[in-house]
Amino acid sequence: MTSRAKDFDQYFTPPELAATLIQAVTVAHPIRVGDFAAGHGELLRAAENRWPATKCIALDIDPEVVLQLKTSHPTWRTRCCDFTDEAERTRAMLSRGRVLQMPVIVLNPPFSCRGGSSRRVPIAGQTTRCSPALAFIVDALKHLQSGGQLVAIVPHGVVQGEKDATARGLLRQYYGMEVVELFARSAFAKCTPRTAIIRLTAGLAPASVVVAESSQRPEANVLTASLLRGRQSNTLVLHSRKRNLLPFIHTTDLGQGLLHRTRKQIAPSDLPQAYGPAVLLPRVGKPTADKIVLFPAGAIAILSDCVFALECGSEQEAEQLQSLLISEWPKVEAAYGGTCARFISVEGLRKLLHGLGCYILPYGQRIQEFRVCAEPAEQMLSSVIV
């Protein structure tokens, strides 16, 4: 990381992460999309890919970055601005004598909390202290029109840390703040903090916001599952003959409608474990219906970061869910996006399953409590994985 990048707290958004964030927006065909820490413009490019007719508003504190954006994207409205300065922010957002209000705001705000720094911010008439990243988001909400959405990639502390607890509660109360996706490892190169994607909606009562973390119970006849995204990189797992290891499942182990025996194993850790009965399907790669496979009852494994598990309450429900996804394959395939490697995000999979009449438990909740079998994992799976 260059000294200039450190000075401006610059961690530019990777393209896949930008596409995932844009998929989390549920506003249809916004006329404007704003990014107030635009960097190299990856989030706005992803927005243009989804909504070609939208007008992009790009602000950034770094004059060199702004010059590059003006050159590479002459149709964007691009300004150099310290967004944390209210006077600068207001000048940059003026258009024909009015301060612009945005239907959609996308952000990768500055993360750094050097020295445990915090800022005082007003939220719905109440003043509280919070981290610089969340304070930046609060500033941005002043430019979000009623019914609009702000979606941002944030450090993990914003969604779980004590420093942001009060502000987080207010944003949930007044903006229906929800966690769309959590990343167990950093989504940025050369940057260690864990991150999350959050979404806030302006002008709606929290009870009326359809959120990814709804606590409503499904009806008895609705297929219900918990959604688990794998977190372990395939490149970091080796073949091993040690005992008491868990099987490691990658997309290459899915195919022909079956879960093939994997030779890779991994020691249990703080990574989430998938429990059967479940349905496994690829998160990234070329999607095919024969890669939607059953994970049998009693089985436990660590999933690659390219695999999703839909954990079910019974084998019968898992079989029904697998059959549903295969029978609705055109819709499933269409849910995978991306210009290079195709992928589906947590939010995209939630929307798909909701549209198929399923209920997915709030993020982090599991379909039932499981007890790890005392048998070594390789013995337990010997009769259930082909």
Per residue, the 3-state secondary structure of 32-50, as one string, reads EEEECCCCCCHHHHHHHHH
Residue 214 structure tokens: 């709804």
The rounded distance, in Å, linking the Cα atoms of 136 and 35 is 12
The rounded distance, in Å, linking the Cα atoms of 106 and 33 is 7
Residue of 253, 211, 242 lying closest to 376 (CA atoms) = 242
What is each CA distance from 279 to 141, 254, 256, in whole angstroms?
39, 11, 14
Q: Is 163 helix (H, G, I), strand (E, B) or coil?
A: coil
Residue of 180, 291, 158 lying closest to 229 (CA atoms) = 180
Kindly indicate the confidence band of residue 39, based on its pLDDT and cuts at 50, 70 and 90: very high
Q: Domains of the chain by range and CATH?
A: 3-208 (3.40.50.150), 224-380 (3.90.220.20)
Report which of residues 160 and 59 the model is more confident about: 59
Non-local (6+) Cβ contacts of 35 within 8 A are 41, 43, 44, 56, 57, 58, 59, 105, 106, 107, 108
Residue of 70, 72, 68 lying closest to 4 (CA atoms) = 68
Q: Does 183 score more than 80 pLDDT? A: no
Alpha carbon distance, N-terminus to C-terminus of the chain: 46
The distance from CA 311 to its chain's CA centroid, rounded to whole angstroms, is 19
Residues 208-261 have pLDDT tens digits of 333 333 445 555 568 999 999 888 887 665 555 666 788 899 999 999 999 998
The amino acid that residue 351 corresponds to is K
- Spatial contact of 44 and 106, defined as CB atoms under 8 Å apart: yes
Residue of 121, 70, 198 lying closest to 57 (CA atoms) = 70
Report the pLDDT value the prediction gives residue 112, as an integer from 0 to 100. Answer: 63
Specify the pTM. 0.58
Residues 309-347 have pLDDT tens digits of 999 999 999 999 999 999 999 999 988 875 557 788 887
The rounded distance, in Å, linking the Cα atoms of 378 and 243 is 8
- Spatial contact of 346 and 360, defined as CB atoms under 8 Å apart: no
Helix boundaries (H) for the chain: 3-7, 15-23, 42-50, 63-72, 86-92, 132-141, 156-160, 165-175, 315-327, 329-334, 346-355, 377-380
Residues 253-286 have pLDDT tens digits of 999 999 998 778 887 766 789 999 999 999 988 8
- Spatial contact of 178 and 198, defined as CB atoms under 8 Å apart: yes
The amino acid that residue 231 corresponds to is R
Report the pLDDT value the prediction gives residue 237, as an integer from 0 to 100. Answer: 57
The rounded distance, in Å, linking the Cα atoms of 98 and 273 is 52
